[in-house]
Structure 1
Amino acid sequence: MGQIKIFGIKERLNPVKETLSKVIHECMMDALEYPSDKKFHRFFPMDKSDFYFPNGRTEAYTIIEISMFEGRTVEAKKRLIKLLFERISTLLEISPQDVEITIFETPKHNWGIRGLPGDELVLNYKVNV
């Protein structure tokens, strides 16, 4: 399971939402063996006045927060992060300097999905990759 939030300045984020969503999902599938039909993305386009960020970033600055079940290896998570930086830079021309990624992992029992605690779900994919 994974829920992804993407934050950015609306004038820069809105035009690339569809492509960025596709890139993120492909990285999830490649790095974490994520199923193609499991896509949970939410975009938060923000007014410039509501989005403060440090010097050295441009208006393309984008934050990606990934919440997922715990269980992936450190190597798999690092592969995900590296793929995201690489593909976002190549396909969307957003510099790695303008992208921040955070992965939040929680035990399955801390999730409620389709009327069940997450640890009682039958999944059609592996978490331990």
Structure 2
Amino acid sequence: MPLVKIALRSGKPTEFVRSVSRSVHRAMVETINVPEADEFQIITENSAAELVYHPTFLGIQRTDDIVIVQIYLGVGRTIEQKQTLYARMVEVLKDDPGIAPADVFINLVETPIENWSLGNGLTTFVR
């Protein structure tokens, strides 16, 4: 049930954006038990003025290829699962479409199950 927001610099080729989308979803499927068909993403391409980041915060060397991934998901993953997700996502994005690990910024936002309606106006996971 995750909802994923991906922000990146505008001007990237369509295939690059699609590859980011596929890679982010693949990492979630492989590491945090997200079903293959559970794919909901909002992807924004932003101008330099609209995507603000510090290029060296915490000693990490970021570039204009930065990709910010925010994942809204239900509560319940362990710290180990989250760490595995972060590592796998960086690995997959490095392989395809070729994003440097330093340019991958990930944030998880956990919300209770009653805060989700995936359609038909129903609280999908509340019985």
Structure 1 residues 82-97: aligned runs within 5 Å: 82-97=87-102
Work out whether residues 12 and 60 of structure 1, in 8 Å CA contact, stay in contact via their aligned partners in 2. no
How do 1:58-97 and structure 2 match up within 5 A?
58-97=63-102
Equivalent residue runs for 1:32-43 within 5 Å: 32-43=32-43
Partner residue of 1:117? 123
Aligned residues: 121
Shift of 1:111: 1.9
Letter in 2 for 1:9: R
TM-score for both structures, normalised by structure 2:
0.86
Measure how far apart 1:13 and its partner are.
6.9
Gaps of 5+ in 2: 56-60
1:13 and 1:45 in contact (8 A); partners too: no
1:100 aligned residue: 105
Change beyond 3 A, Cα 1:34–1:25: same
Whether the aligned pair in 2 keeps the contact of 1:14 and 1:45 (CA below 8 Å) is: no
> SS at the partner of 1:60?
coil
Distance 1:69 1:93 in 2: 29
Q: Deviations over 1:58-113 (max 9, x none)?
A: 11011000000111122111111110011111222211111100011011012223
- Quick one: structure 1 residues 14 and 63, their matched pair in 2 at CA, closer, same or farther if it must change by over 3 Å? farther
SS of the residue 2:42 aligns to: strand
**Deviation readout 1:35-57 (Å, 9 max, x if unpaired):** 11110011010112222211232
What corresponds to 1:5 in structure 2? 5
Distance 1:119 1:90 in 2: 35
Shift of the alpha carbon at 1:2?
0.2
Q: Distance in 2 between matches of 1:80 and 1:98?
A: 16
SS of 2:73's equivalent in the other structure is strand
Q: What root-mean-square deviation, in Å, do the aligned CA atoms of Structure 1 and Structure 2 show?
A: 1.6
> For 1:11, what is the secondary structure of its paired residue?
coil
Scaled by the length of structure 1, what TM-score is found? 0.85
